[in-house]
Amino acid sequence: MRNSEIVCIVCPKGCRALVREKNRRVEITGTECARGAEYVRNEYIEPMRVLTTTLTVESGGKRRLSVRTDGKIKKKLLIPCVRYLKTVKAVPPIHMGEVIVENMLDTGMDLIATDEVE
Amino acid sequence: MKNISEDREKSGIFPFNSACDCDKEGIRDGELSKAVFDVVVIGAGIVGSMLLRELSRFECEIAVVEQFPQPGFGVTKSSLSYIHRNHFNPPGTLAAKLCAGARKAFRKLSDELRVDYKETGEFLLALEPSHIPQMMKRKQWGEQNGETGFRIMKGSEVLRREPEVNPAVLSAVYSSGHGMIYPPEWAFALVENACSNGAHAFFGTKVIGIAGNDDGLFTIHTGNGTIRSRFIVNAAGNKAAKIASMTGDDGIELTLSRGTFAIFDKIHSSLVRNILYVGGGDPAVSQVVGPTVSGNLILGLGSFKTPDSTEDTKVTRESLDEIIAMGRDIVPDLPVTDIITFFAGIKSVNNLEEGGDFHIGYSDLSRRVIHLLIGSPGVTASPGIARHVIDLLSDGGLSLVEKKLFDSSREKKEDDWDKGQKWPCGRIVCRCENVTEATIQNAIERGARTIDGVKHLTRAGMGRCQGGFCEGRIIRYLSEALGIEPTEITKKGEGSEQIKGME
Amino acid sequence: MIDLDLAVIGAGPAGLAAAVRARKEGIRDIVVFDRDDRPGGILNQCIHTGFGLLRFDEDLTGPEYAYRFVTEVNRLKVPVELGTAVVELAKDRILTAVNGKKASKYRCRAIILAMGCRERTRNAVMIPGTRPAGIFTAGKAQRLMNIDGYLPGKSIVILGSGDIGMIMARRLALEGCEVKAVVEKNLYAGGLIRNKVQCLDDFSIPLLLGHTVTAIHGEYRVEKVTICTMNEGGEPDERTAKDIECDTLLLSVGLIPENELTRMAGIGMDRSTGGAFVDNILETETEGVFSCGNVLHVSDIVDYVSLEGEIAASGAAGRIRGVLSEKRYGKRFVSGRNIRQIVPQSITQERETPLFIRVQEPTGPARITAGDIARKRVPVARPSEMIELTIEKKKCQKLLRPPGEGTIEVNCREE
């Protein structure tokens, strides 16, 4: 059995939800809406986040290229991804939304440019 | 012992000498450790810089050594920046003698060196009856020192001229023609002009010991190597006692005082037009509200406490509360929420004690070493001090022959502000103070080596956002111009690297 | 002197949205001025997501959000004068703009102020101590990292739990820096709850509520800071002083609307917002001059900033076409119980109007009312989050007739 407290961020209210796990059943109390319960459940099972960071630009006017994953990845993979991206250089020209790294570290998500570099 | 020339880049020795007349026989930077100077000035504050510049009129080999990376980084940077009328010094003192004619000297230098000098009026305010004798004493001192034009004003007239002043004001002594400068900018220009007349300047070079030799030369040991000189002038400001002990003159003690200052956003530049002191308005211990040469409002001083050490420029909570309370005495509606920066400065105030005075004179051991133990108002006195020290050097045996080709004017490279227009042209880097890329590049070319150095010369980063938008670019410009990594760029010299890495 | 229908000062989210809307409403002669080299304003350094949830129903980064408007501005061929600073604004809608080559004067039929905001500096909050390297506002650190590629420090304490501070905590933590604590003098976080969770909790960064930094140590570089708890009087309790070793102090202690030009033009200002007084078309007390976005009042999310840009643009278009009636000042909104600020402050036109409200103190479920003309229940109210309260069009009549005196009190009452 595991208990954990998760703050819901679906709305500004910030409900504190309590999650109890017993016999592989997850029980959630403390949320006030279905969306909140859904969020808390997902957050409990496997928290997912969008990674945003910047990459070195090989040449060109800008020094850094801002990037993000094209969807949420497992939270525990954020730091390994950032470490990996230290080895990646963006080569201009780069367009908004362009895929820089496909299926980054097998997360199932691409890394896309969130800016342009000529 | 390390050779100075090897450490040149690292120690931040200026490119000033590149502007000097190198056809002249003698000293080149590469040979400095073997070089013999006639005079070495220790300390490139406003006093040392002024002296170096005045000495550069003569046919002698001179140099200044300074621990900080740029002129005016010590007391000079944190001083009140006013060129006072001569009413703060008791008649008959050396301080009064040396402050005489200061404004005239500064006006002339402003033309020659093309640095800002502006004048404004001053009120010594009596907010309560006990202030009246204090302000009257200043008027009397001023008149005894040969100043004229002091006027006694009724409270109502003061309020008509300065409507923001405390309405309780009883009366005031008014005088016009008080100068305003930005001292670090002046110190820089003075050194620059001296160097273009053949002087040498070594920055980031801390004096660690001084030895007398049989050949009649002093050896000055520094963190970057040794320099030899026939004469030494100790213009080390707060550290003058320490330097004096190196020449064997022990037992000199400086009384130190820390003042705290607040600078307000330029939107309040017209809140007060004159310098406002309470009572006797001693420039080292009293409260003051006034304009600055660059159009800010300054609130200052107050704290008259001996700090822990010569470098203890902490701003304390008590001193902040104290100066704000004192400031509100003068201007009740002080816009405290628009303070953009605070800083503290330390100065020696021996001369302000009862019967105190500036002490400028020879070492007990040699007439070729001169110690400057001065205090407030040091900036005002600096031209007088320079003349006085030159006389002492001459009496001490330095032969002074005027150069035929002394160039009193500083060549100012035309930058974006110089074209006689109201607004700068060029790419604006510092948006609060409208400083352009060319102006910043120009400052770096002149020898600014640190973020604060660029700020002192250009005002970039000095405005209301305090570098929020321009600092990255300034780090980049410095890094590119100096050919060093951005991580090596400092705020104010070694140890103050501003960024810790590259992504 | 160049005659111009509409000048937009600032090409950030407010100014770009305003320019697009004004053009769509048929205003031909528009120029957008921005002192930066690229449009987008502060969005360009905000590489994190959280932008556009309301407007686009997407979770965009700052540059992506800006890009949508920039694309639109380009498609509509609205001229954007970059590298151009507006340095003077006169009462009669004459502005002076300087670029790399010259200063130009424009006489404008309408002006939209969209200059955004800047951060409070360390010094404005008066922390005693030395002045070493290593003290940054959070936004300055953000710019250094995201634009210049410089890492401001390795071991960090953040004062203030504003959104930028918390977002920088995550950014630094991801880069392998040690974020030792976020110190907040209030008993609640200054920024959005999602940032508290995703930026601090995710990285186990402690949020020290009811604490403040009372001293900075280090002669050349920050070496440590002293923190204290706040006592009930709102003062630091020196007996609780504790040092935290760090090489960097970030400040995220609030934003100030950048209203130097507004003041220069003598436009009436509201002390509670730090922006101009505006009516419900976001027109200031000077006819033809509008204000929107963070220069009007600091918003919590960018979607509102763009919305305000559009409201201002519609108003400006009406002014330019001469279809707006003469101003009839209705009653003014004033802050009642637990209300910090309200924008707009008055109603002069009959149209549906969103009121943007911030509360003073956090509360649980509460009722927000504007006199007897609008009310709304909220599950929770926090100073960090704006509350939108809509005034229906027909209720506006009530405020305008009879025109003139009186106030409408806005209240937040906990239930």
Q: How far apart are CA B336 and CA C388, in angstroms?
A: 32
Exposed e or buried b per residue across C85-122, where buried means at least 16 C-beta atoms within 10 angstroms of its C-beta: bbbbbeeebbbbbbbeeebeebebbbbbbbbbbbbbbb
Per-residue model confidence as pLDDT tens digits over C71-89: 999 999 999 999 999 989 9
Chain A positions with Cβ closer than 8 Å to C: 7, 9, 11-14, 32, 47, 49-54, 56, 63-64, 66, 68, 75, 78-79, 82, 96-97, 114-116
Given a cut of 80, whether residue B21 has pLDDT beyond it is: no
Per-residue model confidence as pLDDT tens digits over A23-81: 888 889 888 888 999 999 999 999 999 999 999 998 766 789 999 999 999 999 999 99
Angle formed at CA C62 by CA C61 and CA C65, multiple of 5 degrees? 85
Over residues B284-292, mean pLDDT: 79
Query: Could you tell me the fold of the domain covering B414-503?
Result: Arc Repressor Mutant, subunit A (1.10.10)
Q: Are the C-beta atoms of residues A6 and A19 closer than 8 Å to each other?
A: yes
Q: Residues of C with CB below 8 A from B466's CB?
A: 121-123, 137
Greater confidence (A3 vs C34) lies with C34
pLDDT band at C276 (very low <50, low <70, confident <90, very high): very high
Q: In the 8-state DSSP scheme, what is residue C121?
A: P
Of B229-243, B271-285, B389-403, C3-17, give the lowest mean pLDDT range. Answer: B271-285
In sequence order, the β-bridge partners of residue C414 are C366
Angle formed at CA B444 by CA B443 and CA B448, multiple of 5 degrees? 85
- Smallest Cα distance from A52 to chain C, Å: 6
Q: Are the C-beta atoms of residues A69 and A63 closer than 8 Å to each other?
A: no
Per-residue model confidence as pLDDT tens digits over B24-40: 332 233 345 557 899 99
User: What are C373's two structure tokens?
Assistant: 């003309």
Query: For C101, what's the count of Cα atoms within 13 Å in the CB-facing half-sphere?
Result: 2
Q: How far apart are CA B10 and CA C53, in angstroms?
A: 51
Q: How far apart are CA C50 and CA C56, in angstroms?
A: 11
User: Which of B84, B131, B268, B456 is flagged as catalytic?
Assistant: B84
Contact B496 C221 (CB under 8 A): yes
User: What are A29's two structure tokens?
Assistant: 């109390």
The pLDDT score that the predictor gives to residue B431 is 83
- Smallest Cα distance from B71 to chain C, Å: 17
Q: In the 8-state DSSP scheme, what is residue A32?
A: -
Determine the 3-state secondary structure of C373 from DSSP.
Answer: coil
The CATH architecture that domain C1-119+255-324 belongs to is 3-Layer(bba) Sandwich (3.50)
In sequence order, the β-bridge partners of residue C4 are C108
Of A92-106, B489-503, C139-153, give the lowest mean pLDDT range. Answer: B489-503
Given a cut of 90, whether residue B257 has pLDDT beyond it is: no
The pLDDT score that the predictor gives to residue B14 is 41
Q: How far apart are CA B62 and CA A80, in angstroms?
A: 60
The pLDDT score that the predictor gives to residue C253 is 87
Q: How far apart are CA C354 and CA C281, in angstroms?
A: 10
Q: How far apart are CA B173 and CA B146, in angstroms?
A: 16
Residue type, C377: R
Per-residue model confidence as pLDDT tens digits over B103-141: 999 999 999 999 999 999 999 999 999 999 999 999 999
Angle between helices B102-113 and B378-395 (to 10 degrees): 90
pLDDT band at B303 (very low <50, low <70, confident <90, very high): low
SS (H, E, C) B396-414: CCCCCCECCCCCCCCCCCC
Query: Could you tell me the fold of the domain covering B5-75+184-251+356-395?
Result: FAD/NAD(P)-binding domain (3.50.50)
Q: How far apart are CA B242 and CA B206, in angstroms?
A: 12
Residue B87 to residues B90, B355, B380, C80, Cα–Cα distance (Å): 8, 16, 12, 57
Over residues C319-335, mean pLDDT: 83
A vs C, Cβ pairs < 8 A, gives 72
Exposed e or buried b per residue across C351-372, where buried means at least 16 C-beta atoms within 10 angstroms of its C-beta: eebbbbbbbeebbeebebbbbe
Residues B45, B46, B48, B54, Cα dihedral to 10°:
150
Q: Averaging pLDDT over each range in B72-86, C267-281, C314-328, which range is the top one?
A: C267-281
Contact C193 A49 (CB under 8 A): no
Query: Could you tell me the fold of the domain covering B118-180+256-348?
Result: D-Amino Acid Oxidase; Chain A, domain 2 (3.30.9)
The pLDDT score that the predictor gives to residue B265 is 86
**What value does the CA radius of gyration of chain B take, rounded to a whole number of Å?**
22
The pLDDT score that the predictor gives to residue A25 is 86
Q: Domain limits of chain C?
A: 1-119+255-324, 121-251, 328-415
- Smallest Cα distance from A114 to chain B, Å: 18
Determine the 3-state secondary structure of C412 from DSSP.
Answer: strand
CB atoms within 10 A of CB C242: 12
The pLDDT score that the predictor gives to residue A31 is 87
Per-residue model confidence as pLDDT tens digits over C133-189: 999 999 999 999 999 999 999 999 999 999 999 999 999 999 999 999 999 999 988
Greater confidence (B75 vs C141) lies with C141
Given a cut of 70, whether residue B418 has pLDDT beyond it is: no
Residue type, A44: Y
| Residue in C128, C137, C150 closest to B317 by CB | C128
Q: How far apart are CA B111 and CA C73, in angstroms?
A: 50
Q: Residues of B with CB below 8 A from C214's CB?
A: 317
- Contacts of residues C58-61 at CB distance under 8 Å and 24 or more positions apart, as own/partner, are C59/A50, C60/A114, C61/A52, C61/A66, C61/A68, C61/A114
CB atoms within 10 A of CB B252: 16
Exposed e or buried b per residue across B200-223, where buried means at least 16 C-beta atoms within 10 angstroms of its C-beta: bbbbbbebeebeeeeeebbebbbb
ipTM: 0.92
Over residues B424-451, mean pLDDT: 87
Angle formed at CA B379 by CA B376 and CA B384, multiple of 5 degrees? 100
Contacts of residue C33, Cβ cutoff 8 Å, sequence gap at least 6: C7, C8, C9, C10, C11, C80, C81, C84, C85, C86, C97
Contacts of residue B84, Cβ cutoff 8 Å, sequence gap at least 6: B99, B102, B122, B178, B179, B283, B377, B380
pLDDT band at C312 (very low <50, low <70, confident <90, very high): very high
Per-residue model confidence as pLDDT tens digits over B456-483: 999 898 888 888 889 999 999 999 999 9
Closest to B240 in 3D by CA, of B358, B84, B377: B358
Residue B84 a catalytic site member: yes
Site from C118, C150, C172 to mutate, B interface, most B CB atoms within 10 angstroms: C150
- Smallest Cα distance from A56 to chain B, Å: 8
Where are the CATH 3.10.530.10 domain residues in chain A? 52-113
Number of residues written out for chain B = 503
Query: For C91, what's the count of Cα atoms within 13 Å in the CB-facing half-sphere?
Result: 3
Superfamily of domain A52-113: CPE0013-like (3.10.530.10)
In sequence order, the β-bridge partners of residue C402 are none
Residue type, B179: G
What are the DSSP calls for B219-278, one per residue?
Answer: EEEETTEEEEEEEEEE--GGGHHHHHHHTT-------EEEEEEEEE-GGGTTS--SEEEE
Q: Domain limits of chain B?
A: 5-75+184-251+356-395, 118-180+256-348, 414-503
Chains that touch A (3 or more CB pairs under 8 A): B, C
Q: How far apart are CA C6 and CA C15, in angstroms?
A: 12
Average pLDDT of chain C is 92
Residue C172: phi and psi, rounded to 5, are -70, -40
The pLDDT score that the predictor gives to residue B347 is 73
Given a cut of 90, whether residue A97 has pLDDT beyond it is: yes
B vs C, Cβ pairs < 8 A, gives 132
Given a cut of 60, whether residue C251 has pLDDT beyond it is: yes
Q: How far apart are CA B477 and CA B137, in angstroms?
A: 52
Residue B211 to residues B36, B464, C369, Cα–Cα distance (Å): 14, 48, 82
H-state helical runs in B45-182: 46-55, 94-99, 102-113, 131-144, 155-161
Query: Could you tell me the fold of the domain covering C121-251?
Result: FAD/NAD(P)-binding domain (3.50.50)
Chains that touch B (3 or more CB pairs under 8 A): A, C
The pLDDT score that the predictor gives to residue B22 is 31
Per-residue model confidence as pLDDT tens digits over B312-369: 677 777 778 888 888 898 999 988 888 888 887 777 776 666 777 899 999 998 999 9
